[in-house]
Structure 1
């Protein structure tokens, strides 16, 4: 097959009767069915007056229809998946900021997005699932809003997907990703994981986020394999899904892996029967202790990968065995060029610490309507990731921290990840997140939030004493808060920025 540069080309890989999209308890949609769905969606959207370049905000629950709507709507227009849990004010911000032409919701939806769309004069399209339909099959219903200015299937340079950055410290930025960007990323991931048509992914990631959309859905379709889409992550249901679906892999964020690990002992029979070829972790750093426990539990390699929205997800990944994997490292470049750059724009050599920079076919051409952000983000064609890191002579990258998250304690720079990993070595600690605590004289001091393992105990003093054995005095957390649960973002990521305020410590 020629290399796919558009979503419509991407779904030509799979064999006609092979499953493409599945869901627990439902029949799968075949590749033939998926291809005819895509052709039908292009026709239906064009008939409603939606064409190439028009923006369709998608507010659907996680599941097979969300996955198939993302792919098929992108074949005709520009998709903008939004978190279905947003409140009306958030929908108003995103729908207005996106300049959405239509909002796609499920038939009978009670989402607050609908009233917001009506207020903003945005057309509403309903997705209906016919009785007994295969997972992912649907029809669209709506009132025509005129002629589609550009009809037919989208091209390689058309925008396939628009997402906002998480905006923890500033207004969220709009990231447009072209068909060329997302299909290049799908190819890179499928290649790095050696996916074949025999693979089956179990998706537990939210599908309004780049990780699930590209790593789980698009990479599977690019390989002609199948993806079974759950209603979202649920640690209680995960093992029964695993039993039913018998996937060869799944991808998740570290907090999900930790929740699965915590329930492993109660589900030993399922774990023993599982035929996982590998599992993948991305979107946040995986503590080496968790990686080791996961590999012992599943008896398969854990592949840690490094991704971000602006790169259509994956930039680097640890290779599969027999190649070398390094715990705590995000592996080697997996498609794009990856390098380390100094503040003044010089490329640095192995062993030198600087900012991780990338360039390649999967990287966005720039933020929308934001010349200031683009001037800061690009240097000589390289995109600055905002991550501090280091590269070995063999080309393995280790992230030492987000530049914005590095703690500046009176001029001493501390990587929160380093402190996390030391605290995680304590036998009672389940999770640890180190963050900056505002300080009158020093500017910032070191603080940590810790979740203890079930049935274990440890005091703040004991944990500080433990950390002091391995860390220089200035890196030891001044304050350790013991919690039942650490606040997470919408995608299950632990967020350091703003944690002091959330915990009432600022």
Structure 2
């Protein structure tokens, strides 16, 4: 699809939405599989209304919760789809817009049996363009409204960090109901006049075949995806040589240093680790481009908003280790309908409004930010505070370890102790004792995992991220 065709599709979509009674401030849920039509639906609808992409894997009650919570006016579904999202939409008598894919990639038509009229205004910079929910691992998911200006600012920040040009092509393997894929892959590419090749989802078995088809200059993924790609890289050396990448990007979870180094060595390209979250319309910090400028274990330098360290309880900025806070044009104005969360997560200092990320970390002398973990995930072993990320970094350097996640396990006397779930590399063997001995040589005794589980697979969230909170329960350790 050319930019001219995308522009034409945008005008067609706006006319259609207005004729269905959907105005600039109305909220349109989008439930589509990953692919070019999902990307184009997001981009075109967001220029005429508020988009709310939802995970197609939800069950009916989950769809019902999110549709009610975000106050959706309409929902976009594939023509002929008769699954749980349609059943949930029927509960609220939502306007159903049916999408039929056409040619070329990303083009589609919409149809509905609803007619109406809406004022044909264009959303302003201060209107909400995208609504997403936080993951809600420990509480009810919070509604994050992102303004049109937030999305545009973040897309430009990412485009500038990666020096994107019209010659760049991103191969998107990230889900398009998540901020990472929507902004880092799709929106930043369009901001630079580049192109995007949209996969139907992540599949390590198909990844290198897609590379040959797509001829990308870069891709962005979460660490678990990079690790799965690395596991198959050896037998796909020819493709890697044939389709040279300008860089690889990793975000949404900390990338272990040894994995960053293995990726850079395998693809002969810099690995740019970024730091993002939904409330920031994705990117906050990024490792710089250029040979030798990336620091394994660091999420880079501030790359868009101002990034500072604050006291974890008091509303003031501090030096050294503390809670990471941000302020800038890409930051959400606040959670919707949740004054308690806004009171807790936003504060004023030094004539700016700061958002508390919930992450702990510090800057080094060169301005590179290192995260020590989510404040909620820091393990408190009898008063000794342990960063799961530090333990991850050590264990992932073991030659037999492909994937690791360190987490808290309950302890009757200490309150919490250290546990780790490990997946071994294909063809490698190691016992839990081998891995503990390896860790003992590099970590203080209180940081060494008391329990190491060697698994075939570690439970992940919907976006492929490893989740520490609640893992002990999922693995039957509670």
The yes-or-no answer on 1:161 pairing with 2:130 is yes
> Which of residues 104, 114, 120 in structure 2 aligns to 1:144?
114
The yes-or-no answer on 1:497 pairing with 2:465 is no
CA distance in 1: counterparts of 2:406 and 2:81, whole angstroms: 40
* 8 A contact 1:42–1:152 mirrored in 2: no
Cα drift, residue 146 of structure 1: 3.0
**SS across alignment from 1:235:** coil
Residue 7 of structure 1 corresponds to none
> Which of residues 370, 378, 388 in structure 1 aligns to 2:338?
370
* 8 A contact 1:353–1:390 mirrored in 2: yes
1:206-258 CA distance string (max 9 Å, x none): 00000000000000000001001110111111101111111100000000100
Cα drift, residue 41 of structure 1: 0.5
Residue 287 of structure 2 corresponds to 318
Cα drift, residue 501 of structure 1: 0.6
**SS across alignment from 1:236:** coil
The yes-or-no answer on 1:46 pairing with 2:14 is no
1:481-506 CA distance string (max 9 Å, x none): 11001011010000000000100001
Cα drift, residue 322 of structure 1: 4.7
* 8 A contact 1:408–1:414 mirrored in 2: yes
> Which of residues 115, 121, 125 in structure 1 aligns to 2:97?
125
* 5+ residue gaps, structure 1: 1-28
| CA RMSD in angstroms, aligned pairs only | 1.0
Residue 236 of structure 1 corresponds to 205
* 5+ residue gaps, structure 2: none
Residue 71 of structure 1 corresponds to 43
Cα drift, residue 463 of structure 1: 1.5
Residue 197 of structure 1 corresponds to 166
Please give the residue correspondences for 1:319-468 in structure 2 after superposition, counting only pairs within 5 Å: 319-322=288-291, 324-343=293-312, 344-349=314-319, 352-380=320-348, 381-468=353-440
Residue 455 of structure 2 corresponds to 483
**SS across alignment from 1:284:** coil
* 8 A contact 1:104–1:127 mirrored in 2: yes
CA distance in 2: counterparts of 1:192 and 1:487, whole angstroms: 32
Residue 248 of structure 1 corresponds to 217
* 8 A contact 2:270–2:291 mirrored in 1: no
**SS across alignment from 1:447:** strand
CA distance in 1: counterparts of 2:401 and 2:107, whole angstroms: 45
CA distance in 1: counterparts of 2:259 and 2:435, whole angstroms: 19
CA distance in 2: counterparts of 1:89 and 1:502, whole angstroms: 22
* 8 A contact 1:340–1:355 mirrored in 2: yes
Cα drift, residue 145 of structure 1: 5.0
CA distance in 2: counterparts of 1:192 and 1:256, whole angstroms: 22
Residue 37 of structure 1 corresponds to 9
CA distance in 2: counterparts of 1:437 and 1:491, whole angstroms: 24
Cα drift, residue 272 of structure 1: 1.3
The yes-or-no answer on 1:85 pairing with 2:57 is yes
CA distance in 2: counterparts of 1:266 and 1:89, whole angstroms: 43
Cα drift, residue 471 of structure 1: 1.1
* 8 A contact 1:84–1:111 mirrored in 2: no
TM-score, normalised to structure 2, is: 0.98
CA distance in 1: counterparts of 2:417 and 2:115, whole angstroms: 56
1:457-483 CA distance string (max 9 Å, x none): 111122212211111111111111110
* 8 A contact 1:305–1:330 mirrored in 2: yes
**SS across alignment from 1:182:** helix
CA distance in 1: counterparts of 2:429 and 2:150, whole angstroms: 48
TM-score, normalised to structure 1, is: 0.92
CA distance in 2: counterparts of 1:324 and 1:202, whole angstroms: 24
The yes-or-no answer on 1:296 pairing with 2:268 is no
**SS across alignment from 1:76:** coil
1:365-417 CA distance string (max 9 Å, x none): 00000000000100111000000000123211111100000001111100001
CA distance in 2: counterparts of 1:110 and 1:117, whole angstroms: 11
CA distance in 1: counterparts of 2:128 and 2:210, whole angstroms: 34
CA distance in 2: counterparts of 1:145 and 1:397, whole angstroms: 52
* 8 A contact 1:164–1:172 mirrored in 2: yes
Residue 149 of structure 2 corresponds to 180
Cα drift, residue 323 of structure 1: 7.0
